[in-house]
Amino acid sequence: MVEGSPHAQKVPSDIAQIPIIWRYELLKYLRSRRLIASLAIAFVVIGLIYALPPLLGSEYSGSRTDQAISIERSPMGIPYQSIGTFNDTGVLPDTVKIFVNGIEVPRGSNTWVIAGVNGAPSLSRFFGTETIVLFVGNMSSSNVTSSYEWRVSAESFEGNFLGFANLLIVICATFFGADAIVGEYQNRTGYLMFPNPIKREALFFGKYSASMTAGIVVVGLFYGSIALLSLISAGGIDSNLGLSFAFALEYLLAIMAVAYFISTILKGTTGATVLTFFLFVMILPIIDQVLSISGVKPTGSVSFAAGVLQYITQNPYPVDASETFRRITLHTYYPDPTIAAITMLAYVVVAVVLSLVLFKRKELAG
């Protein structure tokens, strides 16, 4: 009788082990409810930011009647004698009606137009995207009023939410990265995992990819909710919201790498969690502020670079400014988008390399 050969058990390759570790780490986040908790935080904050302005009397849209218009003389090179400016932003041009001394004046090329609209697109080079009424005649001595509908701009609406994006990303790094390495040592699960034929590199990148996946889900749903609400309330999405999302993912990549570095050098999960959170929420922002007060732009700080998430949607992009008050010069600095991207990428590379080197050398004790 010929016995059959035993079934050969082949160990997966190092690369094939990464998605296996990734899958089990994601299951761990679900079972510990960290992913659900971070999503709950994101949606609760979104709900509060969205609901509070209307509850406090600041609506996202509305209408105005009998609104005075400020009249100025037109600059040279414009074939109109007077310029009228609205007191509101987000005026819907198609809804504007103009009244001169109480009598409605029809819109037209021989009466008045809106800058950049109705046959005057070339005027946008003088006024940008601001809504302005251009009058053929001299209106300086007339009582000019208007009625119109208005709606908050997508830029302004989304900016209310993007101020929370930095903190949400820090929360993700704290939940999914701070104890990823040190937890294996403190909880003694490393005794079961490390003797297996799994290289530390595969274990590290499997865990790191799972942490990033969980973070991307949270941040992606956060930005997706902003886009949806912006469509509903502002009638559109700011053209730079996608760019802000790209910077958000890079920032998540950077501070997740730093969180892993902290997790490899500390011996307890509590210390790693606390240090990760307060490093980006308090310690680095305080250092950035001290440097700014001293007149030094904190270009190399990842927390300073993260400001680009919010500023990138502003048009025009803010520029550095200085103001002297009673012999004291106050400096306001804004991250350059290109330099910010390079800075965050540098943090990723350095933190990942150091974390991997330390993790390979770290041994179980006790």
Asked if the structure places residue 92 within a domain, the reply is yes
Q: At what angle do helices 14-31 and 200-233 cross, to 10 degrees?
A: 50
CB 178 within 8 A of CB 263: yes
pLDDT at residue 185 in the model: 73
2, part of any domain: no
User: In the structure, what pLDDT confidence band is assigned to residue 20 with cuts at 50, 70 and 90?
Assistant: confident
Residue 3 included in any domain: no
pLDDT tens-place string over residues 303-340: 999 999 999 999 889 998 888 877 778 889 999 999 99
- Average pLDDT value over all residues in the chain: 86
pLDDT band, very low/low/confident/very high, at 10 (cuts 50, 70, 90): low
Does 97 share its domain with 229? no
Q: Based on the domain organization, do 279 and 170 belong to the same domain?
A: yes
Which contiguous run of DSSP H or E holds residue 263? helix 241-265
- Give the residue-averaged pLDDT of 163-189: 88
Pair 141, 194 in one domain? no
What is the span of the domain harbouring residue 71? 61-151
Same domain? 248 vs 332: yes
Q: What tokens were used for 144? A: 């000019």
Asked if 17 contacts 198 with a C-beta cutoff of 8 angstroms, the reply is yes
* Domain-ending residue, one of 132, 151, 170: 151
Q: What is the pLDDT of residues 198-257, one digit of tens each?
A: 788 888 999 999 999 999 999 999 999 999 999 999 989 999 999 999 999 999 999 999
pLDDT of residue 14: 66
Quick check: 7 pLDDT over 60?
no
Domain count, the chain: 2
291 falls within a domain: yes
Question: Cβ neighbours of residue 216 under 8 Å, at least 6 residues apart?
Answer: 249, 252
**Who wins on pLDDT, 75 or 167?**
167
**Domain's final residue, options 111, 129, 151:** 151
3-state secondary structure 28-58: HHHHCCHHHHHHHHHHHHHHHHHHHHHHCCC
Query: Is residue 85, in this structure, part of any structural domain at all?
Result: yes
